[in-house]
Amino acid sequence: MSATKTISFTLNGAPVTADVKPHHNLVELLQGQFGLTGARETCGQGLCGCCTVIVDGLAVSGCLYLAAFLNDGAEVSTVEGLDTPAKLSPVQEAFVETAAFQCGYCTPGFILMVGQLLDEHPDPDDDQIKHYLTGNLCRCATYPQVMEAVRLAAKKRKAGAAA
Amino acid sequence: MTPFELAEPTSLKEAIKLLDPDDPTIRPVGGGTALMLMMKAGVFKPVKLISLRRIENSYSTIAATGDGLRIGAMTTLAALERSADVKKAAPLITRTLKTLSNIRVRNVATVGGALAHGDPHMDLPPVLMALGATLTVMGPKGERKLAVEDLFAGYYETVLDKDELIAEAHVPAHGTKKAAYMKVTTGSADDWPALGVAVVLEGDAGGIKSARIVASAATDKATRLKSAEAALIGGKVDDTLLAKVGDAAADEAEYIADVRGSISYKRELMRVYVRRAVRAALEGAK
Ligand SMILES: Cc1cc2nc3c(=O)[nH]c(=O)nc-3n(C[C@H](O)[C@H](O)[C@H](O)COP(=O)(O)OP(=O)(O)OC[C@H]3O[C@@H](n4cnc5c(N)ncnc54)[C@H](O)[C@@H]3O)c2cc1C
Ligand code: FES
Ligand code: FES
């Protein structure tokens, strides 16, 4: 019953191997075997975005994604992979500078979704920002600051690309 | 979630063999977004899931055909949303996807799952029905064609056997037809709808030659409203005619009451939104 399978993939740039149970989701895998708690199961229903993980370049809800769906060789990124000890990512910096959070619980998910948005729309308008973030909920209601953070992050990314 | 086994066949044929027509604890899984909700809630406790994620890649692709689109059942909703072929042949689908759930769910959910779940609140069933889409269904005895219109048997029920899989959807191009889909959310803007109405029309305000009007969410399954369609055909489309069409739709549909509205409330929504959807189609919905 419930045979474990071994998957080798890349986690935040580093090669890893995990023993995955069929009924575990991606959040359980990341927390249980890798101690990564940036993606946290909250609504558990795909609605809030707190469990956002990037799999092969696409944002998914880790709460609804079976860990066994990962292919060998998959590339998985979480919020923990964005910064270096010396520097935050432009999106992280922008969230700090605009104070786009209060408790910070929702922040990892927002930051990863904003990364996706800016990869596709480096210069997003407000409608595009809202479209990308409809699936991210903030209990502290920092939405106006988040909008500001996205605009600032877009500027920072462009400046970074130009530099 | 309670433990279960996961099989990962590499072909559709193999997947069908692993299914069992008499065992409801064995189910196929596409993106898993709908099944996960049921498994987490404990409503569905599988013994075994048959993943379709490793079957032939051709079932995850979209192709423009002479008269429309061929869409593999494992195509994600995000791929559908981004496809230039879909936007060209069936822009109604592209528009519908913008407000279907959120990006993370669309990145994972599949066309086959959106149809086979038989959830009357979902958006693709009414839209594909109004567009006159058909399915290729595969089973142990081979393949059969099934109109999306004939797929739904009731609330979360389809006519598919437990060892049949949706392999492909075929969507006729809009051509010069006019199309609109409206969903009415009575809770928050992105809540499940109280009513969905999809309309595909041939003709113009001077006279409609053919019409397909489909209601969902307020009804136990996506349902064509044939008397409303009949009322719309022929005459000049003005307020009087639209009132008749709305009344016909309101009378014809069979409603379910839930947290999103009572039967009488949904009947009034139907009357109003069928009118609005016809107008939106004629005016060229954005
Ligand atoms: C947060 C959230 C919001 C949502 N909002 C919306 C919305 O606004 N509008 C909307 O329309 N939908 C919405 N949905 C529902 C979403 O569209 C469905 O969950 C999704 O389409 C199901 O696809 P899947 O591939 O994940 O299905 P799965 O969960 O894999 O499967 C669903 C069902 O279909 C069966 N199945 C899957 N593939 C096949 C196949 N090829 N042949 C036969 N049977 C098959 C499975 O056995 C299961 O019974 C939402 C979902 C979530 C989680
Ligand atoms: S916990 Fe996954 S979306 Fe809320
Ligand atoms: S900052 Fe508290 S939930 Fe968003």
Tally C-beta pairs within 8 A across A and B: 78
Instruction: Say if A85 falls within a structural domain.
Output: no
Residue A115 has which token pair?
């990364």
Letter string b/e over residues B17-33, b meaning 16 or more CB atoms within 10 A of that residue's CB:
ebbeeeeeebbbbbbbb
For residue B153 the two structure tokens come to 């048997």
Q: What is the pLDDT of residue A2?
A: 64
Do B215 and B123 fall into the same domain?
A: no
In this structure, is residue B8 part of a structural domain? no
In-domain check, residue A107? yes
Any residues with CB less than 8 A from the CB of B281 and at least 6 apart, and which? B178, B179, B180, B199, B200, B201
CA distances from residue B78 to A60, A124, B149, B166, B234 in whole angstroms, order as listed: 11, 19, 24, 19, 38
A49-65 tens-digit pLDDT: 999 999 999 999 999 99
**In the numeric block, which tokens belong to residue A120?**
């596709």
Same domain, B123 and B148: yes
How far is Cα A54 from Cα A77, in angstroms, rounded to an integer?
5
In sequence order, the 6+-apart residues with CB closer than 8 A to the CB of B147 are B132, B133, B134, B135
**In CATH, what number is assigned to the domain containing residue A48?**
3.10.20.30
Instruction: Mark yes or no for CB contact B37/A64 under 8 Å.
Output: yes
Q: What is the mean pLDDT of residues A112-141?
A: 97
Same domain, B102 and B154: yes
- Confidence check: pLDDT of A162 > 90: no
A145 lines ligand 3 (CB under 6 A): no
Answer with the one of B126, B142, B172 that is the final residue of a domain: B172
Neighbours of B271 (CB within 10 A): 18
Contact across the interface for A134 and B49, Cβ inside 8 Å: no
Q: What is the CATH number of the domain that holds B154?
A: 3.30.465.10
Which of A49, A79, A109 is the last residue before a domain boundary?
A79
| A82 vs A88: CA distance, rounded Å | 7
Instruction: Read off the DSSP letter of residue A83.
Output: -
CA torsion B149-B152-B156-B160 (nearest 10°) is: -120
What ipTM was predicted for this assembly? 0.96
Domains in chain B: how many in total?
Answer: 2
- The one-character DSSP state at B157 is E
Tell me the residues of B at the A interface, defined by beta carbons under 8 Å apart.
Answer: 1-6, 8, 29, 32-33, 36-37, 39-40, 49, 51, 53, 78, 98, 101-105, 107-108, 190
Contact B98 A21 (CB under 8 A): no
Ligand 2 atom closest to residue A47's alpha carbon, by position in its atom list: 3
Residue A3 — very low, low, confident or very high, per pLDDT cuts 50/70/90?
confident
In a domain, B29, yes or no: no
Low-confidence ranges of chain B (pLDDT < 50): 286
CA B210 – ligand 2 centroid, Å: 43
Domain that holds residue B195: 178-283
DSSP code, position B248: H
A100, A131: one domain: yes
Quick one: A75 and A117 in the same domain? no
As a whole number of Å, the end-to-end CA separation of chain B is: 42
Q: What are phi and psi of B222, to 5 degrees?
A: -60, 130
B200 and B216 together in one domain:
yes
Pick from B155, B172, B189: which residue ends a domain? Answer: B172
Nearest CA-CA partner of B49 in B89, B83, B19: B19
Same domain (yes/no): B80, B158: yes
Question: Is the CB of A132 inside 8 Å of chain B's CB atoms?
Answer: yes
Tokens for A163, please give them: 């530099």
Q: Mean of the pLDDT values across residues A3-16?
A: 96
For residue B266, give the CATH number of its domain.
Answer: 3.30.390.50
* Position B191 in a domain: yes
One domain for residues A10 and A41: yes
Beta carbons of A7 and A17 less than 8 angstroms apart: yes
CA–CA separation, B12 and B158 (whole Å): 20
A114 in contact with B at a CB cutoff of 8 Å?
no
pLDDT above 90 (res A161): no
Q: Cβ of A23 under 8 Å from any chain B Cβ? A: yes
CB B197 within 8 A of CB B126: yes
Closest chain A residue to B53 measured between Cα atoms?
A69
pLDDT of B189: 78
Record: contact A116-B51, CB cut-off 8 A? no
In degrees and rounded to multiples of 5, residue B96 shows phi and psi of -65, -40
Is A43 a pocket residue for ligand 3 (Cβ < 6 Å)? no
CA A121, CA B184: separation in Å to the nearest integer? 29
Kindly provide the b/e burial profile for residues B258-269, where b requires at least 16 CB atoms within 10 angstroms of the residue's own CB. eebbeeebbbeb
Q: SS3 for A139?
A: coil
- Cα A105 to middle of ligand 3, angstroms: 5
User: Considering B137, B172, B207, which residue would you say is the last residue of a domain?
Assistant: B172
Pair (B187, B275) in one structural domain: yes
**Does residue B10 fall inside a structural domain?**
no
pLDDT in tens, A133-145: 999 999 999 999 9
CB pair distance less than 8 Å for B32 and A66: yes
Exposure class string for A19-47: b at 16+ Cβ within 10 A, else e? ebbbbbbbbbbbbebeebebbbbbebbbb
Q: Who among A1, A65, A113 is closest to B5 (CB)? A: A1
pLDDT score of A163: 65
Contact B47, B24 (CB under 8 A): no
Same domain, A9 and A66: yes
Range 39-68 of A in CB contact (< 8 A) with B:
44-47, 49, 52, 58-61, 63-66, 68
Of A38, A54, A79, at which residue does a domain stop?
A79
Residues B93, B71, single domain; the answer is yes
CB contact under 8 A, A22 and B40: no
- Any domain includes B246: yes
Across the interface, whether the CB atoms of A135 and B1 are under 8 A apart is answered no
Count of the separate structural domains present in chain A: 2
Question: Whole domain around residue A70: which residue ranges?
Answer: 5-79
Which of A61, A63, A77 should we substitute to test contact with B (largest number of B Cβ atoms within 10 Å)? A61
**B182 in the same domain as B166:** no
Contacts of A68 in chain B (CB under 8 A): 6, 8, 51
**Would the CB of A101 count as within 6 Å of ligand 3?**
yes
Measured from the Cβ of residue B99, the count of other Cβ atoms closer than 10 Å reads: 16
Tens-digit pLDDT profile for residues A10-69: 999 999 999 999 999 999 999 999 999 999 999 999 999 999 999 999 999 999 999 999
A37, B39 contact by CB (below 8 A): no
State the pLDDT confidence band at A160, using cuts at 50, 70 and 90.
confident
- Above pLDDT 70, what percent of chain A? 98
Chain A hits for B103, Cβ within 8 Å = 59, 113, 116, 131-132, 134-135
Contact B104 A69 (CB under 8 A): no
A84 belongs to a structural domain: no
Give pTM, 2 decimals: 0.96
Q: Residue A73, exposed/middle/buried by CB under 10 A (0-12, 13-18, 19+)?
A: exposed
Residue ending a domain, among A56, A79, A102, is: A79
Q: Based on the fold, state whether residues A10 and A75 are members of the same structural domain.
A: yes
A47 lines ligand 1 (CB under 6 A): yes
Q: Which SS3 state, helix, strand or coil, does residue A17 take? A: strand
Check whether residue B130 and residue B64 sit in a common domain: yes
